[in-house]
Amino acid sequence: MSQLTLTTPGFIRLQAQVALNGTFTHTLSNAERVSVAATVSIEQCAQAIDVKVRIGNTANSVALDKYRTDNGRRVARFIEQIANGHAPTNVPDVDECLLVTDLERTLRQALRRGHGTYYLPADELEPCLLIRRNRFGGYTAQIELHGAACMLTLPADTRRAYAMLAENLRRFLTGYRDSLAAAA
């Protein structure tokens, strides 16, 4: 059986989509007219793009350096490797996966979904984030940890909301650690 590849229009669209946030559907096909759909979710992070690919019941993800000009081609190769049943290798460079932390992924996912409860991986602490959309289109967020809480109103612009949420979480955790040190 011949290899599944992205269609030419899909490859061209993917070149532009790697610079956006969103979920996109692409079709891969081969010479025998077999086709398969791939759902590609792209999240722009501070230093990387976080790419998740779902084909059938498989899901794979990769973090790629945001500033590389060949990311469209790299994501296309990643999708095609998965569709053809190969291990997705040779796509990220060494240590490229370290450009996005689990904390950043979780905060961005919370903002993208706009509601829910999230347990944040923050070193030895595990604060809880409760988030929901407010009637003005922005977000209401609450960070909780062992009885301490911080309530935030965040703007609708997810870039600004992420920056504010990350900075306030950093301050909250610093204050929590400082208060533990003072009590000791």
Residues 149-168: what's their mean pLDDT? 94
- Taking only the tens place, the pLDDT of each residue in 117-151 is 999 988 788 899 999 999 999 999 999 999 999 99
Total number of domains constituting the chain: 2
Angle at 100 (CA atoms; ends 94, 106), nearest 5 degrees = 145
pLDDT at residue 138 in the model: 94
C-alpha to C-alpha distance for 173 and 184, rounded to whole angstroms: 17
Residues 11 and 90 in one domain: yes
Residues 123 and 71 placed together within one structural domain of the fold:
no
Residue 84, pLDDT score: 92
State which of 98, 122, 148 marks the end of a domain. Answer: 98
Asked if residue 86 and residue 14 are part of one domain, the reply reads: yes
Nearest Cα residue to 111 out of 18, 175, 172, 45: 45
* 131 and 62 inside one domain: no
Query: What pLDDT is attached to residue 184?
Result: 77
Sign of CA dihedral 145, 150, 154, 159: negative
Quote the pLDDT of residue 17: 97
**Does residue 115 share a domain with residue 30?**
no
11 and 91 both lie in a single domain: yes
Best CA proximity match to 36, nearest among 46, 22, 26:
26
Q: What is the pLDDT of residue 95?
A: 66
Give the distance between the most distant pair of CA atoms in the chain.
70
Cα–Cα dist 78/54, whole Å: 11
Residue 90 reports pLDDT greater than 70? no
Residue that is last in its domain, among 77, 98, 119 = 98
Boundary (domain end) residue, out of 98, 131, 153: 98
Mean pLDDT of the chain: 90
Sign of CA dihedral 146, 120, 151, 175: positive
Return the closest-CA partner of residue 108 out of 123, 97, 118, 95.
118
For 44-67, write each residue's pLDDT tens digit. Answer: 998 899 999 999 999 998 889 999
Question: What pLDDT is recorded for position 24?
Answer: 97
Distance CA 38, CA 51 (A): 12
According to the model, what pLDDT value does residue 94 have? Answer: 55
Which residue range forms the structural domain that includes residue 90?
5-98
**Claim to verify: residue 44 and residue 68 sit in the same structural domain:** yes
Three-state SS at 121: coil
Amino acid at 30: N
Cβ pair 52, 60 in contact under 8 A:
yes
Q: Categorize the per-residue pLDDT at 97 as very low, low, confident or very high, splitting at 50, 70 and 90.
A: low
